[in-house]
Structure 1
């Protein structure tokens, strides 16, 4: 069974389920490949129920079948990488590299088709319904191999033309307008995201001359951005004060290129100099370096040092230019406290003295020291690093079993504050804190329980810790807090449960702990003001077989339809997602209930005006409802045809039945010849 332990140590079916979840989380495809990307994502998500059933199966998967599923895992990983590229990549780059994209689509489709060919379905413990669904997906992949989903040819031609003319001073504004609209680069946020993605992809491609490519693409993006700002001046960097007027119309000042960050093309707020002498906006270059690059984005030279030096001269010039042009100078963002490797000697001595008190057997000293560490860890990241490095975490964990409720509360809250720093999460988990935190969650004061729930939420941000926390028995205790806690306690429990249930293996635990009725109660109780959290949890659980059954058993359909009709945008999309999971092709009762509640109109409106995810879920649910309605109409037509056939048979029978007549002496004679032949003659009754 080597295949079941490959990779993360989880069985292959659980790794497959997790990969599908990761793919489902990639939801934004606002580029020229939106249609094929959405189709690929939808087909892969339809494989999810198979992996869920395999994960819930009692018998382990045989080794040959596990090897076949491992090949499928490799194919799904390639599909996930392609979907991420389509979701996060530069729109300009993806269109210009259309040949590369089409080849990747074909490669992924072939891999998935071949992997599904090798899966021995007859050896797997899956239901007939799920197998039919997988076979349908397999057939779709086979058909998809024969198609080339190319982006719009006109879009490609226009973009290539402007790319080759990017250095021209005057470009056709009509073409720019159409290009900005087709690429969906119409807001400052769109343009900024595109700029960052563009730089990332050009250097990651490793082909051609990145310096030339990035210059031409950046110039093209700058042209689009200048055009967008010209058409929508309120989106630019102008101040709220009145701009200069020319012929009664506002004059939009053009930002000098030297004042723009080469990465974001925005007016710089906090310019810094890198080792090559180039200047960038601090947040942009920090993101570039954090992603693993060690080169200068503009010159592609390797950086001899990662240090960033503030460019005070340029910042002063930008401020002078803003003042001269009636533009509010950009405010330098507040910099978070820079993490340090160690405290100052005085701070270190103070923390050491507090740790000495924690180690003492004096309860009063422990309580006061834990309370002080709690406050210090709350203040800033420097303190969190210093306290952890001094060795406080194991000592604080020991306090979780304290019989003094206040000491216990200080201990768990100090751990909560320390866990905010990412490096401390691993230290807390390695020190074995989870059982103690669950103990506080079960037995502590209400404030201690609330902070214990918040600590579990903070730690479970790391995916692998979701598994550990779920296996510790934390989920039933969190469900208890969700039932009996204060409003804040319920919030903390709900957020922790939501985070833990992102991992497929924890969903069944939550359902069996009784979370569904509690969450349904929160949805129906507006006074709790927890509808957002409740629907988000239901959305996660509805993708699990046990969760789906529990939600359906709670008669949730009318409530969810009502939420689609009048909820907030986020709640409407979650309600649609839940209903989509509930309304499987074989769930005729659920589909009928949704129809009776009047779902079609609200769904059609959501498909037009909802969030991006809400629109997708609404369209999918509309397709499913329409198929159901067609089936209902066909069944109704067949029933009517059957009734008409029966009516015809009855009419023919009535026509053949003899008509009785009376003779003068009152005897009755039947005039139908067939009947007379089949019945005894009157003479036969005489003796």
Structure 2
């Protein structure tokens, strides 16, 4: 009996120890093998690559190291003979096998990484696009451009490789070539090229020169007016890129029939915030750059842009408000624009409200527009001045001078305060002494 009882007790003790060992094993944190970790990030490598020094890193980490201007191996400090890392398929397979073996611990198998595009492959695609353009092969060119978009969207490295090898210039040449013929017949390939170009901003000078030709600009305006939604969006993005730094291209755009109407429609019937912002920036350059601004302002005012901008300022997001104020400031530089702004009942309240509410630049635009409107009415009864005073412009301008602003804005704010000061006594104010004997309920 005693021996039987001892055997049972020993069995129970062994079973208990086994359960405790299993629980401890479940609670233990799984340790990643040291040679599976990237020496830079110390994380599990997803795409192990080996340098010329024989050290293996995760591709993302070592590429960031090299792009930062480092040309040595982080571990050995040796100068790299080649900046092209070589995929380490053996380590990657070992890591994947280890992930599969430890999937019970929640470890997911790392996917097999795509091989990055090389400069040689990029140049081959560019050559094929050039040949397709010469042969007027729309389908072939469109397929090649679509392939570029797909590869670029796979990784930032692929995108940099295409941009670094002048792909934007090749696509711009193709766009110009197909723009010399019927826009509607070549719409599909032209739209595909535009879509790819928007992924390569900022464009280099050579690409801008081809896109700024007469044929290309006419085609861009055609897309702006008659293209589908994506075509109109891409067209205005490219136009903004072209005119933001080139006065000549701005004059060419202003002279093309339908350009102002196409830009206005994107404001009136928005497609997306990106297209709206691009259209506002393009219009801003048109209404603030001489000698095109006078005619452009007249066209936009006649279309009703001033009223549209003021209504947008009421509840639009900050970035759109800032750009709308910039356009409004440019339009109010002429008499017709100021008169149109003055006739809108929301102009002064909205301008005063936007001071200190959006950004420093928006505040400067608001003060500038307010000054232009008030200065134009200086010799009149001062209706705008009184309205601005009633909605708190005097206090906001004083605060602006206290917290600081640009020199030009400071001069304008000071002059506005002088104009306001001569009309302050005309407002009906309540003297606080009239209520000195009033009993308060608190």
Q: TM-score range by the shorter chain?
A: 0.5 to 0.7
**Residues 30-53 of structure 1, C-alpha deviations (whole Å, 9 max, x = no match):** xxxxxxxxxxxxxxxxxxxxxxxx
The CA distance in 2 between the partners of 1:603 and 1:260, in whole Å, is 53
| 1:499 partnered with 2:241 | yes
Provide the residue aligned with 2:231 in structure 1.
489
Cα distance in structure 2, aligned partners of 1:315 and 1:411? 40
The verdict on how the C-alpha distance between 1:640 and 1:387 changes in structure 2, with shifts beyond 3 A counting, is closer
Look up the match of 2:221.
Answer: 479
Is residue 2:132 matched to residue 1:396? yes
- Other structure's SS at 1:272 match: strand
In the TM superposition, 1:238-257 aligns within 5 A as none
Matched, 1:638 2:436: no
Cα distance, 1:394–1:604 mapped onto 2, change above 3 Å: closer
* Structure 1 SS opposite 2:57: strand
Shift of 1:463: 1.5
Instruction: Find the counterpart in structure 1 of residue 275 from structure 2.
Output: 533
Pairing partner for 1:556 from 292, 305, 313: 305
2:263 aligned residue (497, 519, 524): 519
1:319 maps to 99
Partner of 2:178: 437
Aligned residue in 2 for 1:282: 59
> Matches of 1:418 and 1:449 in 2, distance apart?
15
- Match of 1:294, SS state, is coil
Q: Deviations over 1:278-324 (max 9, x none)?
A: 43221121233355543112442212444334233773597389757
| Counterpart Cα distance in 2 of 1:321 and 1:496 | 51
Equivalent residue for 1:410, pick from 134, 139, 152: 139
What RMSD over aligned residues (CA atoms) do the two structures have, in Å? Answer: 4.7
Q: How many equivalent pairs are there? A: 331
Please name the residue that 2:85 is paired with: 307
1: distance between equivalents of 2:293 and 2:42? Answer: 48
Distance 1:436 1:591 in 2: 44
SS of equivalent residue, structure 2 residue 212: helix
Distance 1:459 1:268, change over 3 A: closer
Q: 1:504 to 1:330 in 2, by over 3 A?
A: farther
- Once the two structures are superposed, the pairs formed by residues 282-681 of structure 1 within 5 Å of their partners are 282-290=59-67, 293-305=70-82, 306-310=84-88, 311-312=91-92, 315=95, 319=99, 323=103, 326-329=105-108, 331-332=110-111, 334-336=113-115, 338-339=117-118, 341=120, 386=124, 388-389=126-127, 392-400=128-136, 409-410=138-139, 412-414=141-143, 416-417=145-146, 421-422=162-163, 423=165, 425=167, 428=170, 433=174, 435-440=176-181, 442=183, 444-451=185-192, 453-454=194-195, 462-464=203-205, 465-505=207-247, 506-513=249-256, 514-526=258-270, 529-543=271-285, 545-546=288-289, 550=296, 553=301, 554-567=303-316, 569=317, 572-580=318-326, 582-583=328-329, 587=333, 589=338, 595-596=347-348, 598-601=350-353, 604-605=356-357, 607=358, 615=359, 617-621=361-365, 626-627=396-397, 631-638=415-422
Shift of 1:418: 7.0
TM-score (ref. length: structure 1): 0.39
Matched residue, 1:683: none
Distance change >3 Å, CA 413–CA 630, structure 1 → 2: same
> What corresponds to 1:206 in structure 2?
none
CA distance in 1 between counterparts of 2:309 and 2:32 reads: 50
* Unmatched 5+ stretches in structure 2: 1-22, 150-161, 371-395, 398-411, 427-442
* d(CA) in 2 for partners of 1:258, 1:411: 46
Return the alpha-carbon distance in structure 1 between the equivalents of residues 40 and 306 of structure 2.
Answer: 48
What TM-score, normalized by structure 2, do the two folds share? 0.57
1:573 Cα deviation from its structure 2 partner: 0.2
Contact 2:244 / 2:282 at 8 angstroms: preserved in 1?
yes
1:113-151: per-residue Cα shift (whole Å, max 9, x none)? xxxxxxxxxxxxxxxxxxxxxxxxxxxxxxxxxxxxxxx
Contact 1:263-1:280 at 8 Å conserved across structures: yes
The Cα of 1:456 is off from its aligned counterpart by 6.4
Alignment partners' CA distance in 1, 2:331 and 2:190: 43
Q: Which residue of 2 aligns with 1:210?
A: none
SS of the residue aligned with 1:634? helix
Q: Gaps (5+ residues) in structure 1? A: 1-244, 342-381, 401-406, 608-614, 643-687
* Secondary structure, counterpart of 2:49 in structure 1: strand
Supply the distance in 2 between the matched residues of 1:508 and 1:524 (Cα, whole angstroms). Answer: 23
Shift of the 446–304 alpha-carbon distance from structure 1 to 2, 3 Å rule, reads closer
CA offset at residue 466 of structure 1?
A: 0.6
Q: 1:596 to 1:439 in 2, by over 3 A?
A: same
Q: Contact (CA 8 Å) 1:255, 1:267: kept in 2 or not?
A: yes
